[in-house]
């Protein structure tokens, strides 16, 4: 049937079962928003305060639900405002589709008003991107975009559509989602694979070799990486860990892939890894990393990382093998399938002595209780006591992020939403809003610091207008805590430009957005506020005062050996 490009876009969103999009309108995308008006009964649009907020919301929605998050923006600054969000999604392999419009075809290349080469700009931060110049290609491109975003190793895909394309008409042929890979550019892409549409299988010989390595190992160790979360392989991973009876370290991205606080969990690994995790990695004879790319925050010094061990990498992305740490064996495949195959082949093992050694080291740092202010463990403790165990946690970046990861325990993929790879300050609030919209039945909290919160707190307007009950908990130490920590430890206490001895008053700020807020300095005050926020089911901001010199423990400086703790 005859449709305009804008209508085709709406129909394609419906084909993909998209029920919510996050975005911000503008000149070139007006045709699309005009059509959205007609589709508003089927597609909910969330208007954020800023395009960056929309990009993080789509990302948070995607991470928490496993579905593709969709974000729309206009040309020029609308598009460039998305780039931080796109890069964040790219670094953490989050399935997202960004739809932007560009100026009319006859204005392209003329430095027209709000024109920018966003496909050029986003090339290194997207899995792939498209510029649609022909309305007849639009449906095919959008179908490819959605499939590519969520397939294999997920990631962001950007579709840039010329304004005239959204107004021109084409013959739209509806197509069920299952049919998409049999047509157009997806079909061409699939045709190039030598597997010929068969369900791809990990190499059996590779799997068998790992089985032998496991049987020969006395001191095996596992790393649960982001691939376990993205691949929703948590059940298989859990069975695998129990079967081979190995301690499990969890990366930042792996939070939720393996149950936190279980008797096999050694906690976080790497720069702020627990002593148990880091010592275990250093002492093991076999290290199996699932869906983990050994980033510099995990491996620190690639040359000495797990120096006594045979390192095995299980990853869906061939280009991650040997990229950061040289490995002794690898298996390419979806974490779920590889772990299933391993579980079928391995009889239960026991490694008592090794576990006793590993768990003789602490899996969590202890904090001293000071008088006037809260300490991080008190805040995370209160969260665990007052809120349900399945509460979704979205964080910003810095000390509060690490505390939230170290001390809160996550039990399923999508429960922890954090910018691990790109380290985007200001990520959390948008992401929390997206997560809540994707998971209306779960409590969602946003853990942030005073530095991060002031970056994108404008999204409180979105939270308030759409009545999205997200509880923001600020670890307020009046400083850029993580940077200050580095300045303390590595820069001779030169606190250059990190002290935030200035406004705003977060309570008044929240209230001006119509959101209830409280400043708390005691554990009782915090627990009362949390209970009230949860009971009322409304947006809420809790400003928790902590000490300016509170540190994340332990800490290993970047590039150092993983057991070289400069702070214990």
Partner 1 sequence: MTELKKERHTLAVLVDNAAGVLSQVSRLFSRKGYNIESLAVGATDNPAVSRITVEVIADEEQISLLCNQLNKQFPVHSVKRLSPSHSIRRELVLIKVKAEDSVSRNEVMQIASIFRSAIIDVSAQSLTVAVIGEEEKVFAIQDLLAPHGILELVRTGIVALERGSFTIDEATKQKLEYDYAKASLW
C-alpha to C-alpha distance for 219 and 247, rounded to whole angstroms:
9
Of 1, 2, 176, 194, the one binding partner 1 by CB under 8 A: 194
Under 8 Å between Cβ of 103 and 117: no
CB neighbour list of residue 121: distance below 8 Å, 6 or more residues apart: 79, 80, 83
Given the complex with partner 1, which of 92 and 550 has the nearer CB atom?
92
State which residue, 289 or 417, has the beta carbon closest to partner 1.
289
Shortest reach from residue 161's CB to partner 1, in Å: 15
Of 113, 197, 307, 508, the active-site residue reads: 113
Decide: is 365 part of the binding site for partner 1 (CB under 8 A): no
Is 193 a binding residue for partner 1 by CB under 8 A? The answer is yes
Shortest reach from residue 54's CB to partner 1, in Å: 25
Q: Is 319 in the site for partner 1 (CB under 8 A)?
A: yes
Does the footprint of partner 1 cover residue 532 (CB under 8 A)? no
Residue number, 201 or 212, with CB nearest to partner 1: 201
**Ramachandran class of 109: left when φ > 0, alpha when ψ lies in -120 to 50, beta otherwise:** left
How many angstroms separate the CA atoms of 337 and 335, rounded?
6
Q: Which stretch binds partner 1 (CB under 8 A): 101-109, 312-320, 490-498, 538-546?
A: 312-320
Binding of residue 195 to partner 1 (CB under 8 A): yes
Return all residues near 299 (Cβ < 8 A) that are at least 6 apart.
270, 305, 324, 325, 562
- Out of 5, 25, 76, 333, point to the residue binding partner 1 (CB under 8 A): 333
Residue of the chain from 18, 49, 186, 250 that contacts partner 1 (CB under 8 A):
186
Find where tokens 């380290």 sit: 423
Q: How far apart are CA 490 and CA 488, in angstroms?
A: 6
- Residue 552: partners with Cβ closer than 8 Å, 6 or more residues away: 272, 399, 402, 403, 406, 481, 482, 485, 567
SS3 453: helix
Out of 47, 190, 377, 557, the residue judged to bind partner 1 by CB under 8 A: 190
Hey, what are 40's tokens?
Answer: 């508003």
- Asked if 10 and 39 count as a contact pair (C-beta separation under 8 A), the reply is yes
Per annotation, catalytic residue among 482, 487, 538, 551: 482
User: Minimum distance between the CB of residue 95 and partner 1, rounded to whole angstroms?
Assistant: 13
Between CA 182 and CA 177 the distance in angstroms is 10
Cβ proximity to partner 1: between 51 and 160 the closer is 160
List C-alpha distances in Å: 425 to 85, 143, 169, 449, 482: 11, 32, 42, 9, 12
Strand, helix or coil at 39? coil
Selected from 1, 173, 176, 199, the binder of partner 1 by CB under 8 A is 199
- Total residues binding partner 1 (CB under 8 A): 38
Residue 85 or 333 having the CB closest to partner 1: 333
- Smaller CB separation from partner 1, 154 or 430: 154
Q: Are strands 540-545 and 516-520 parallel, antiparallel or unpaired?
A: parallel
Q: Does the active-site annotation cover 51?
A: yes
Least spacing, CB of residue 519 vs partner 1, in Å = 45
Q: Residue 276's closest CA among 290, 285, 289, 265?
A: 265
Q: How far apart are the first and last CA of the chain?
A: 67
Residue 366 as a binder of partner 1 (CB under 8 A): the answer is no
Active site residue 114: yes
DSSP 286: E
Q: Which of 11, 15, 51, 320 is catalytic?
A: 51
Which lies closer to partner 1 via its Cβ, residue 42 or residue 182?
182
Q: How far is the CB of 189 from partner 1 (least distance, A)?
A: 6
The Cα–Cα gap between 386 and 388 comes to: 7
181 is an interface residue for partner 1 by CB under 8 A: yes
- Contacts of partner 1 in 116-175 (CB under 8 A): 119-120, 123-124, 127-128, 131, 147-148, 151-153
Binding segment (CB under 8 A) for partner 1, from list 279-287, 311-319, 403-411, 438-446: 311-319
Q: Say which of 67, 150, 163, 436 is annotated catalytic.
A: 163
Residue 197 binding partner 1, by CB under 8 A: yes
Under the binding rule (CB under 8 A), the answer on residue 561 touching partner 1 is no
Query: Quick one: which segment of 194-202, 508-516, 533-541, 551-559 binds partner 1 (CB under 8 A)?
Result: 194-202
Among 332, 346, 377, 483, binds partner 1 (CB under 8 A): 332
Residue 322 or 370 having the CB closest to partner 1? 322
| 3-state SS, residue 366 | coil
- Nearer of residues 197 and 491 to partner 1, judged by Cβ: 197
CB of 195 to partner 1, least distance (A): 4
Distance CA 331, CA 257 (A): 19
Peptide bond into 554 cis (omega under 30): yes
Cβ nearer to partner 1, comparing 223 with 316: 316
Q: Quote the CA–CA distance of 210 and 204 in Å, as a whole number.
A: 10
Q: Which is nearer to partner 1, 128 or 483 (CB)?
A: 128
Question: Known catalytic residue: 113?
Answer: yes
**Burial grade of 204 (CB within 10 A; 0-12, 13-18, 19 or more):** exposed
User: In angstroms, what CA-CA distances link 558 with 36, 298, 364?
Assistant: 48, 10, 20
What is the pattern of x (binds partner 1, CB under 8 A) and - over residues 200-219?
A: x-xx----------------
Max Cα separation, the chain?
Answer: 72
Query: Judged by CB under 8 A, does residue 274 bind partner 1?
Result: no
Helix, strand or coil for residue 447? Answer: strand
The binder of partner 1 chosen from 334, 340, 450, 463 (CB under 8 A) = 334
Report the catalytic residues.
Answer: 51, 113-114, 163, 482
Binding residues (CB under 8 A) for partner 1: these are 119-120, 123-124, 127-128, 131, 147-148, 151-153, 181, 186, 189-190, 192-195, 197-200, 202-203, 303, 316-319, 321-323, 326, 332-334
């Amino acid at each position: 049937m005859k449709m305009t490009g804008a209508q085709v876009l709406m129909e394609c969103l419906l084909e993909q079962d998209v029920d919510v999009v996050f975005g911000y309108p503008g000149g070139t995308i007006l045709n699309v928003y005009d059509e959205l008006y007609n589709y508003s009964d089927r597609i909910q649009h969330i208007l954020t305060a800023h395009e960056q907020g929309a990009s993080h919301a789509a990302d948070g929605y995607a991470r928490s639900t496993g579905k593709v998050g969709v974000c729309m923006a206009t040309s020029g600054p609308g598009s460039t405002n998305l780039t931080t969000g796109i890069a964040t999604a790219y670094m953490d392999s989050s399935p997202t589709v960004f739809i932007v419009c560009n100026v009319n075809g006859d204005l392209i290349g003329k430095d027209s008003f709000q024109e920018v080469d966003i496909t050029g700009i986003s090339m290194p931060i997207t899995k792939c991107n498209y510029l649609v110049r022909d309305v007849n290609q639009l449906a095919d491109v959008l179908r490819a975009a959605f499939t590519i975003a969520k397939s294999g190793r997920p990631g962001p895909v950007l579709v840039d559509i010329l304004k005239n394309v959204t107004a021109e008409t084409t013959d739209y042929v509806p197509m069920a989602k299952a049919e998409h890979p049999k047509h157009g550019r997806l079909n061409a892409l699939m045709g190039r694979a030598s597997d010929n549409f068969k369900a791809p299988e990990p190499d059996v010989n590779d799997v068998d070799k790992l089985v032998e390595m496991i049987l020969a190992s006395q001191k095996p160790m596992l790393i649960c990486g982001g691939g376990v979360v993205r691949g929703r392989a948590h059940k298989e991973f859990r069975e695998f860990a129990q079967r081979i009876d190995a301690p499990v370290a969890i990366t930042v991205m792996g939070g939720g892939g393996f149950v936190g606080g279980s008797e096999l969990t050694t906690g976080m690994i790497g720069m702020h890894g627990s002593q148990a995790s880091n010592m275990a990695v250093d002492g093991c004879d076999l290290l199996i990393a699932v869906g983990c790319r050994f980033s510099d925050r995990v491996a620190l010094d690639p040359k000495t990382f797990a120096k006594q061990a045979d390192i095995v990498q299980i990853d869906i992305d061939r280009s991650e093998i040997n990229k950061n740490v040289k490995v002794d064996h690898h298996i390419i495949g979806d974490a779920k399938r590889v772990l299933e195959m391993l579980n079928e082949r391995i009889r239960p093992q026991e490694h008592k002595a090794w576990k006793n050694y590993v768990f003789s080291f602490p899996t969590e740092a202890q904090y001293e209780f000071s008088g006037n202010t809260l300490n991080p463990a008190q805040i995370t403790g209160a969260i665990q006591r007052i809120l349900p165990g399945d509460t979704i946690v979205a964080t910003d970046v810095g000390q509060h992020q690490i505390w939230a990861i170290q001390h809160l325990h996550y039990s399923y993929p999508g429960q922890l939403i954090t910018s691990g790879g790109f380290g985007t300050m200001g990520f959390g609030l948008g992401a929390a809003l997206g997560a809540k919209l994707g998971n209306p039945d779960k409590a969602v909290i946003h853990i942030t610091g005073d530095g991060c919160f002031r970056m994108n707190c404008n999204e409180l307007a979105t939270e308030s207008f759409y009545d999205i009950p997200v509880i923001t908990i600020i670890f307020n130490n009046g400083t850029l805590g993580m940077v200050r920590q580095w300045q303390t430890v590595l820069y001779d206490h030169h606190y250059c430009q990190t002290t935030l001895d200035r406004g705003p008053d977060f309570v008044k700020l929240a209230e001006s957005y119509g959101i209830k807020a409280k400043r708390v300095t005691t554990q009782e005050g915090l627990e009362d506020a949390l209970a009230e926020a949860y009971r009322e089911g409304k947006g809420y901001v809790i400003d928790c005062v902590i000490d300016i010199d509170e540190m994340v423990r332990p800490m290993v400086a970047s590039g150092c050996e993983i057991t070289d703790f400069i702070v214990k």
